[in-house]
């Protein structure tokens, strides 16, 4: 005779715990509690609604006052900014100025009912003081004495070769308006004294000039000129 061994399923403690506190069972338990409280004459939803309404009654006016002040200030600032922008550029800003002022008026009108007169007057005074700025200065014509009006060429200077004596060259500083008789103008004194440094400018020696006799010139080592012979008869 075959022996039948009954199979006994083992129950795990974790599985029964999870089944007991599942979401489905939680909803059922909550509904049962609400049903029991309703039989006892206790309405939790009504109690929660009263609590929320109490908070609204306490903090509602404060929040409304803050939002109204913010809206009134924003509308006033929009109107002031539109006026300033419209006065600065009158030609193409008129339409934009009217649109911005319409938005500012809407914000002001919607917020005036919740802002008291004292706060409103204080805001208006503060915003008007901010808007009082100096008018833009009109441009004035520039004068010819201004250094900006001078051409760039007037500031350019050069060095003119004036002569040579015993192999030494003499140079003076000249401007664009001055005339260099030798025709040799160098950008710097060093190049003028040493023409080898300026390959772009050809070296042209100045021919020696005859000395002119002046009174007292013999004291400097110069001899007076010889008298001219009389013309033949």
pLDDT per residue as tens digits for the range 35-47: 887 777 777 778 8
Paired residues of 52 in beta bridges: none
Q: Mean pLDDT, to the nearest integer, of 60-65?
A: 80
Q: Mean pLDDT, to the nearest integer, of 162-188?
A: 85
Output 85 or 174, whichever has higher pLDDT.
174
| 3 state SS of 164 | strand
Q: Indicate whether 22 belongs to any domain.
A: no
Q: Indicate whether 182 belongs to any domain.
A: yes
| Banded model confidence at residue 149, pLDDT cuts 50, 70, 90 | low
165 shares a domain with 121: no
161 shares a domain with 117: no
Q: Indicate whether 135 belongs to any domain.
A: no
173 shares a domain with 105: no
117 shares a domain with 195: no
Percent of the chain residues past pLDDT 70, beyond the cut: 42
Q: Does position 130 have pLDDT exceeding 70, yes or no?
A: no
115 shares a domain with 166: no
189 shares a domain with 121: no
- Whole-model pTM? 0.31
Query: Which backbone phi and psi does 168 adopt, to 5 degrees?
Result: -110, 135
Output the pLDDT for position 197.
62
126 shares a domain with 49: yes
Q: Indicate whether 60 belongs to any domain.
A: yes
- For the chain, the domain total comes to 2
196 shares a domain with 120: no
Q: Indicate whether 215 belongs to any domain.
A: no
106 shares a domain with 164: no
Helix or strand holding residue 225 (H, E): none
Q: Does position 11 have pLDDT exceeding 50, yes or no?
A: no
| Neighbour-count burial of 186, counting CB atoms closer than 10 A to its CB (0-12 exposed, 13-18 middle, 19+ buried) | buried
Q: Indicate whether 17 belongs to any domain.
A: no
Containing domain of residue 178, as a range?
154-207
Calculate the alpha carbon distances from 46 to 40, 51, 55, 60, 231 in Å: 14, 9, 15, 20, 149
Q: Does position 9 have pLDDT exceeding 60, yes or no?
A: no
Q: Does position 176 have pLDDT exceeding 50, yes or no?
A: yes
123 shares a domain with 50: yes
Distance CA 140, CA 180 (A): 40
Percent of the chain residues past pLDDT 90, beyond the cut: 1
158 shares a domain with 125: no
Query: Which backbone phi and psi does 186 adopt, to 5 degrees?
Result: -115, 150
Q: Indicate whether 80 belongs to any domain.
A: yes
């Amino acid at each position: 005779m075959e022996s039948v061994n009954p199979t006994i399923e083992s129950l795990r403690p974790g599985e029964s715990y999870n089944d007991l506190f599942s979401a489905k069972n939680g909803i059922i338990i909550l509904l049962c509690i609400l049903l029991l409280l309703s039989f006892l004459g206790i309405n939790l939803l009504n109690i929660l609604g009263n609590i929320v309404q109490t908070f609204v009654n306490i903090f509602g006016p404060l929040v409304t006052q803050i939002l109204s002040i913010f809206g009134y200030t924003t509308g006033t600032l929009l109107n002031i900014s539109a006026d300033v922008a419209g006065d600065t550029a009158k030609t193409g800003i008129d339409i934009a100025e009217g649109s911005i002022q319409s938005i500012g008026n809407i914000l002001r009108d919607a917020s005036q009912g919740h802002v008291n007169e004292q706060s409103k007057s204080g805001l208006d005074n503060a915003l008007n003081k901010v808007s009082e700025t100096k008018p833009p200065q009109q441009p004035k014509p520039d004068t010819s004495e201004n250094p900006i009006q001078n051409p760039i060429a007037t500031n350019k200077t050069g060095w003119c070769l004036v002569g040579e004596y015993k192999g030494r060259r003499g140079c003076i500083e000249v401007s664009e308006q001055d005339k260099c008789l030798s025709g040799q103008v160098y950008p710097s004194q060093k190049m003028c004294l040493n023409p080898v440094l300026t390959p772009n400018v050809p070296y042209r020696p100045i021919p020696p000039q005859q000395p002119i006799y002046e009174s007292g010139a013999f004291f400097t080592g110069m001899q007076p000129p010889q008298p001219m012979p009389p013309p033949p008869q």
